[in-house]
């Protein structure tokens, strides 16, 4: 398969007055055309930081090194003008909270018009309405609602509008950052259905960011599990579920309620993330790991190739 986007040695830190937050360290992954990659991990693991870097949307106190190669070019070193031409047209993003991403005083159609005109000033109003209608219908929203304002939609419908905006110009990559987190369970299912449909019918890659391993299985082809800024396991979905290698992935999977076997209890992982301003020596998961060994407290585990998968853990070193 053709690679659509390739991330290599990506490290990102946030400079603060009281120290430096090491939000992402040495991340490597790639997404092929028509493939869905999910980035999974607890809150604060660096998932959004990684996703935002792909669109060069990091705040001014962030420093990113490494490379994010799209169409032969490194996004991290692109000028503002270059990335503006890519954002929304070739790579787009769906954020967690659709209300803060939509302008309350703009009709839905004006959001589409603004986006389309930013990339093609010659397109006329009728063409823009056609593009917007197509994208809305593909996301499960009637094109009749083009004249509505965001407040006239439910949370789930607003998120569908956001997805429609993200796919309107037929991008080759969509980053969906916790697209279902602010929604109730029934609506979450509906939004996942929309994503599954897009995956089936459109020719694009999806990077699905979530803290919920439960929603990943239905849509992802492969998974990057993040813990405290590092990718600790990287595998195809089948192998990850069947035989999780990293102790953190194993615990994450246990924390997913299993409806089929009647186990609805959420097993939370005891302990909390290390302070990313002051990372302990050795493995970042050492204080929560049931399998911790002496070496884990002294040396950082490298990423290891294990049966075609990647895992960052001394159990396999």
Ligand X SMILES: Nc1ncnc2c1ncn2[C@@H]1O[C@H](COP(=O)(O)OP(=O)(O)O)[C@@H](O)[C@H]1O
| Contacts to ligand SF4 by CB under 6 A | 247, 283, 285-286, 289, 291-293, 296, 301, 313-315
Angstrom distances, CA of residue 171 to CA of 47, 163, 167, 221: 21, 12, 6, 19
Q: Does 172 bind Mg ion (CB under 5 A)?
A: no
β-bridge pairing 222-227 and 36-40 = parallel
Which entry of ligand SF4, Mg ion, ligand X, none binds 291, CB below 5 to 8 A by partner kind? ligand SF4
Which entry of ligand X, ligand SF4, Mg ion, none binds 156, CB below 5 to 8 A by partner kind? none
DSSP 44-58: TSSHHHHHHHHTT--
Rounded Cα gap, residues 232 and 311, in angstroms: 5
Q: Which position among 16, 266, 291, 295 is part of the footprint of ligand X (CB under 6 A)?
A: 16
Which entry of ligand X, Mg ion, ligand SF4, none binds 247, CB below 5 to 8 A by partner kind? ligand SF4
Chain residues 95-124 in contact with Mg ion, contact rule CB under 5 A? none
Angstrom distances, CA of residue 14 to CA of 23, 24, 74: 7, 10, 20
Range in contact with ligand X (rule: CB under 6 A) among 14-22, 72-80, 112-120, 248-256 = 14-22
Closest contact distance (angstroms) between CB of 231 and ligand SF4 is: 13
With beta carbons less than 8 A apart as the criterion, state whether 310 and 231 touch.
Answer: yes
Which entry of ligand X, ligand SF4, Mg ion, none binds 45, CB below 5 to 8 A by partner kind? ligand X
Cβ closest to ligand X, residue 59 vs residue 262: 59
Cα angle: 173, vertex 41, 235; to 5 degrees: 65
Q: Does 49 bind ligand X (CB under 6 A)?
A: yes
Closest contact distance (angstroms) between CB of 205 and ligand X is: 20
Q: Does 159 bind Mg ion (CB under 5 A)?
A: no
Q: Which position among 136, 163, 276, 283 is part of the footprint of ligand X (CB under 6 A)?
A: 276
Q: Which position among 5, 10, 21, 37 is part of the footprint of ligand X (CB under 6 A)?
A: 21
With beta carbons less than 8 A apart as the criterion, state whether 167 and 198 touch.
Answer: yes
Q: Does 47 bind ligand X (CB under 6 A)?
A: yes
| Pick from 188, 133, 137: nearest CA to 159 | 188
Would you report the helix, strand and coil content of the chain in percent, each value rounded to 5? 35, 25, 40
Task: Give the chain's end-to-end CA distance (angstroms, integer).
Answer: 30
Q: Does 48 bind Mg ion (CB under 5 A)?
A: yes
Q: Does 93 bind ligand X (CB under 6 A)?
A: no
Phi, psi of 228, deg, nearest 5: 45, 45
Rounded Cα gap, residues 71 and 6, in angstroms: 9
Closest contact distance (angstroms) between CB of 27 and ligand X is: 11
**Contacts to ligand X by CB under 6 A:** 14, 16, 21, 23, 41, 43-49, 59, 61, 276
**Contacts to Mg ion by CB under 5 A:** 48
């Amino acid at each position: 398969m053709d690679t659509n986007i390739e991330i290599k040695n990506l490290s990102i830190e946030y400079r603060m007055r009281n120290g430096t937050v090491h939000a992402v360290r040495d991340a490597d992954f790639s997404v092929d055309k028509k493939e869905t990659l999910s980035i999974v991990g607890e809150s604060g693991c660096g998932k959004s930081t990684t996703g935002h870097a792909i669109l060069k949307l990091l705040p001014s106190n962030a420093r990113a090194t490494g490379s994010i190669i799209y169409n032969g070019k490194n996004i991290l070193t692109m000028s503002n003008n270059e990335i503006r031409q890519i954002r929304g047209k070739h790579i787009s993003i769906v954020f967690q909270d659709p209300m803060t991403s939509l302008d309350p005083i703009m009709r839905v159609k004006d959001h589409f018009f603004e986006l389309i005109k930013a990339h093609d000033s010659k397109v006329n109003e009728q063409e823009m309405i056609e593009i917007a209608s197509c994208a809305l219908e593909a996301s499960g929203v009637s094109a009749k609602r083009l004249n509505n304002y965001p407040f006239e939609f439910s949370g789930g419908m607003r998120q569908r509008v956001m997805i429609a905006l993200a796919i309107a110009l037929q991008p080759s990559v969509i980053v969906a950052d916790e697209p279902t987190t602010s929604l109730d369970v029934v609506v979450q299912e509906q939004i996942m259905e929309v994503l599954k449909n897009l995956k089936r019918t459109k020719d694009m890659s999806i990077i699905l960011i979530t803290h919920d391993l439960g929603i990943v299985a239905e849509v992802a082809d492969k998974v990057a599990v993040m813990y405290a800024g590092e990718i600790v396991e990287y595998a195809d979905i089948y192998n990850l579920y069947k035989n999780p290698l990293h102790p953190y992935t194993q615990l994450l999977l246990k924390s997913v309620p299993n409806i089929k076997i009647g186990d609805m209890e959420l097993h939370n992982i005891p302990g909390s993330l290390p302070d990313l301003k002051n990372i302990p020596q050795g493995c970042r998961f050492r204080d929560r790991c049931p399998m911790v060994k002496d070496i884990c407290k002294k040396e950082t585990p490298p990423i290891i190739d294990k049966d075609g998968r990647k895992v960052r853990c001394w159990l396999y070193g």
